[in-house]
């Protein structure tokens, strides 16, 4: 008997084999169906899908025998993966010097063998699809073709498995990376909010204190500082909302009153010259309050920001539909040009306006993403100099 030699690329082959995560795994119907079919086509009592590990043959599928592995140094498959042809056939192992006195002949009555090397796309022989019989014999042309074809099918299945494992690993890594990025963004954003609020407040106090006492250029400098701080604040708020959006989706639903929600938003965002009204049904049943609040705050804030009217007017309306909650936020602001209305929901898209300096292009993109994940849609109608109406739905 001659033990099979190791392939010249054995170490690399073993590394590649480990990528499939097949060794010591439980039987799977997909592979068992193939060995059963092979045994039937080739009229063979034993059929195996064998993975060649360092010191053993692991049988991913074993039809006709009860054990799941055997030593590699006495294996027929160890010789089969060294061949150049698509199939390796031993008609009578008792007459082949490579297998004379092989324990499998006496112990398992392995007389006839035919194996197809399972060659992956990179050229590594992972193992074999093989059959054994207890008597000398051969295979006809159609049986050989079937064995070779089904061997290719096994390789395709193995490759699909490997790609799925790689995708799963990439998904897990991306999830971890996003979690770390979310934590970092949240931490940094919260740390920046306090000093930014101080800068804005102190700038406003300084402007009031120096009113009529400083030059026009000094006033411009203070306005620039305030505008820059407000833009940075909007970026931070946008980043926090962007990373908080998925958490909002998991908030349980509740019954709320539009009147109470509108009043809370008024206290948070409106000045004494602004007016926020609401219309439609007051009680909204079974809705994600946290997500809805964030959507309305963002839309109302935009309605105030993009508004140069002396008295800024905003209305929130609600209509109950059979499958959706439908909301609209209308204003008397500067309006949006018709050819720009489709692009404002894209991330970092900013529509310049001579009287509006604050914009980040984050908020509406995040809101659209949040609305879509809530099973709804959002759109806008607008007229320059008249105002805009943002309408969105949330699935019940």
How far is it, in rounded angstroms, from Cα 132 to Cα 114?
Answer: 7
Final residue before a domain boundary, out of 119, 141, 167 = 167
Final residue before a domain boundary, out of 167, 182, 214 = 167
Final residue before a domain boundary, out of 150, 167, 184 = 167
The β-bridge partners of 391 are 328, 379
DSSP 80-97: HTT-SSS-EEES-GGG-T
- Residue 89 scores a pLDDT above 70: yes
Band the pLDDT of 292: cuts 50, 70, 90: very high
Residues in contact with 357: Cβ distance below 8 Å, sequence separation at least 6, in sequence order: 227, 231
pLDDT, mean of residues 281-291: 91
- Residue 142 scores a pLDDT above 70: yes
pLDDT, mean of residues 188-203: 72
pTM of the model as a whole: 0.56
Q: Residue 228 belongs to what H/E stretch? A: helix 216-249
Domain interval for residue 335: 251-396
Band the pLDDT of 36: cuts 50, 70, 90: very high
- Residue 355 scores a pLDDT above 70: no
Three-state SS letters, 354-370: CCECCCCCCHHHHHHHH
Is 4 domain-assigned?
no
Band the pLDDT of 130: cuts 50, 70, 90: very high
How far is it, in rounded angstroms, from Cα 339 to Cα 214?
Answer: 43
pLDDT the model gives residue 197: 74
CB 244 within 8 Å of CB 362: no
Tokens 């009860």 correspond to 66
Between 28 and 341, name the one with better pLDDT. Answer: 28
* Domain count for the chain: 2
- Residue 218 scores a pLDDT above 90: no
- Residue 187 scores a pLDDT above 70: no
How far is it, in rounded angstroms, from Cα 387 to Cα 374?
Answer: 27
| 275 in the same domain as 140 | no
Residue 321: which CATH number? Answer: 3.30.565.10
């Amino acid at each position: 008997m001659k033990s099979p030699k190791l392939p010249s690329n054995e170490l690399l082959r073993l590394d590649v084999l480990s990528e499939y995560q097949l060794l010591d795994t439980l039987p799977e119907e997909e592979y068992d169906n193939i060995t059963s079919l092979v045994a039937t086509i080739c009229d063979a009592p034993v059929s195996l899908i064998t993975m060649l590990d360092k010191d053993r043959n692991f049988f991913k599928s074993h039809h006709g025998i009860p054990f799941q592995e055997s030593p590699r140094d006495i294996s027929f498959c160890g010789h089969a993966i060294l061949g150049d042809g698509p199939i390796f056939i031993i008609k009578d192992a008792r007459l082949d010097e490579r297998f004379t006195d092989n324990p499998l002949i006496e112990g398992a009555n392995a007389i006839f063998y035919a194996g197809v090397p399972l060659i992956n796309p990179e050229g590594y022989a992972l193992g074999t699809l093989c059959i054994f019989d207890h008597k000398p014999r051969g295979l006809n042309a159609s049986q050989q073709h079937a064995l070779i074809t089904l061997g290719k099918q096994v390789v395709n299945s193995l490759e699909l498995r490997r790609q799925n494992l790689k995708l799963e690993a990439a998904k897990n890594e991306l999830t971890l990376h996003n979690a770390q990025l979310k934590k970092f963004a949240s931490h940094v954003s919260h740390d920046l909010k306090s000093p930014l609020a101080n800068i804005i407040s102190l700038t406003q106090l300084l402007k009031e204190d120096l009113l009529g006492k400083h030059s026009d250029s000094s006033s411009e400098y203070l306005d620039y500082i305030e505008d820059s701080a407000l833009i940075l604040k909007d970026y931070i708020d946008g980043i926090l909302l962007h990373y908080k959006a998925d958490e909002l989706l998991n908030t349980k639903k509740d019954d709320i009153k539009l009147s109470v929600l509108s009043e809370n938003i008024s206290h948070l965002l409106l000045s004494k010259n602004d007016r926020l009204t609401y219309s439609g049904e007051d009680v909204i049943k079974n809705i994600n309050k946290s997500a809805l609040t964030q959507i309305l705050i963002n839309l109302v804030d935009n309605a105030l920001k993009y508004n140069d009217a002396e008295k800024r007017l905003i209305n929130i309306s609600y209509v109950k539909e059979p499958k959706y909650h439908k909301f609209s936020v209308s204003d008397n602001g500067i309006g949006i040009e018709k050819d720009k209305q489709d692009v404002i929901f894209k991330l970092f898209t900013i529509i310049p306006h001579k009287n509006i300096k604050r914009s980040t292009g984050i908020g509406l993109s995040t809101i659209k993403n949040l609305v879509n994940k809530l099973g709804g849609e959002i759109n806008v109608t607008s007229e320059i100099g008249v105002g805009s109406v943002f309408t969105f739905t949330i699935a019940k």
